[in-house]
Amino acid sequence: MRFSHSFSCSAMGALILGCLLLQASNSNAQLRPDFYFRTCRQVFDIIGNVIVDELSSDPRIAASLLRLHFHDCFVNGCDASILLDNSTSFRTEKDAAPNANSARGFDVIDRMKDEIELACPRTVSCADILTIASQISVLLSGGPWWPVPLGRRDSLRAFFDLANTALPSPFFTLDQLKKSFADVGLNRPSDLVALSGGHTFGRAQCQFVTPRLYNFNGTNRPDPSLNPTYRDQLRRLCPQNGNGTVLVNFDPVTPDGFDQQYYTNLRQGKGLIQSDQELFSTPRADTIPLVEQYSNNRFVFFQAFAEAMIRMGNLKPLTGTQGEIRQNCRVVNSRIRSVENEDHGVVSSI
């Protein structure tokens, strides 16, 4: 199977989204969907073909790439800071609690970058690669297409401390979730509810589920919002004092497909982590009607998700001469030049 961006755009775009999302994509004037039209037109096909190939052996990778983009954008904007390894100047975000031994797909991004550098050297940013990869991952899993605004540049540092505080916790209440989203500029209820729908595929570790099963909020009892049958199923997968790294499907019905089943699960008390179930089980919450609406209408969910993804992708982008276009997504260019100078016996002033 080969990925064809032209087919995906014409078929899915015309069917699902149309002019509304094209207008939304222009909300940041410096980003535009045709940014690489003249300089690297094949970027979508390169990224898409890598994902198709990776999916053949790793059905989790689509959800993992979407999560990488989310975790990148919530920490000082969509600037690929999450991809940077440790440096003498900063600590990597990969070591932050929400990412350590959890965030994955970095090697897949490396593969995309290597192939893009061969085709279009020093042209496509790692931030844009992450953004495109998340969109194609959703599309290949059965979700919507949307016009991806492009033209981001890459940060010159990582933000370890901010990664520990800015990312929403799986144990958050609804009020805490709303604040976390509003703090980065996503202040509409539809932003929170639609982007949470990214948990319609992928996995979570038992360590993020077991408090709900055995000792919810220190009560020594399970979360009362949990469907009893589902609770018993989860207890078999995640026994008390068991292996916290065991993986559990976010969606037990269609675990690798991007659809609206996530919201149906919430209505049945089958949200995997607390922060998901809060969207429906918090009394009189303004998120409840959205959960019901998205559960009943895939088209409405897809449109809301695409709009929210565009809004999230527009968070504090580096553009113009800000930042850089990294040659290697794991290191800033000055480190590459420093090593090259050392290899040639040149003392670098960088």
Q: What does the domain layout of the chain look like in residue ranges?
A: 42-202+250-314
Q: What is the pLDDT of residue 130?
A: 98
DSSP letter at 249 equals E
For 252, phi and psi rounded to 5 degrees? -75, -10
Whether residue 232 is annotated as binding a ligand: the answer is no
3-state secondary structure of 14: helix
List the catalytic residue out of 5, 69, 71, 344.
Answer: 71
- 165 vs 180: CA distance, rounded Å: 9
What does the pLDDT look like over 69-126, one tens digit per residue? Answer: 999 999 999 999 999 999 999 999 999 999 999 999 999 999 999 999 999 999 999 9
| Topology classification of domain 42-202+250-314 | Peroxidase; domain 2 (1.10.420)
Whether residue 151 is annotated as binding a ligand: the answer is no
Q: What is the pLDDT of residue 13?
A: 45
Whether residue 340 is annotated as binding a ligand: the answer is no
% of the chain exceeding 90 in pLDDT: 87
Q: What is the pLDDT of residue 33?
A: 97
* Best CA proximity match to 335, nearest among 164, 87, 12: 87
Q: Answer yes or no: are the C-beta atoms of 282 and 174 closer than 8 Å.
A: yes
Sign of CA pseudo-dihedral 284, 285, 286, 289: negative
- 232 vs 217: CA distance, rounded Å: 19
Mean pLDDT of the chain: 92
What does the pLDDT look like over 221-278, one tens digit per residue? Answer: 999 999 999 999 999 999 999 999 999 999 999 999 999 999 999 999 999 999 999 9
Tell me which of 348 and 54 has the higher pLDDT.
54
Q: Answer yes or no: are the C-beta atoms of 256 and 141 closer than 8 Å.
A: yes
For 139, phi and psi rounded to 5 degrees? -60, -45
pLDDT tier at 207, thresholds 50, 70, 90:
very high
Q: What is the pLDDT of residue 30?
A: 86
Is 5 assigned a catalytic role?
Answer: no
Whether residue 324 is annotated as binding a ligand: the answer is no
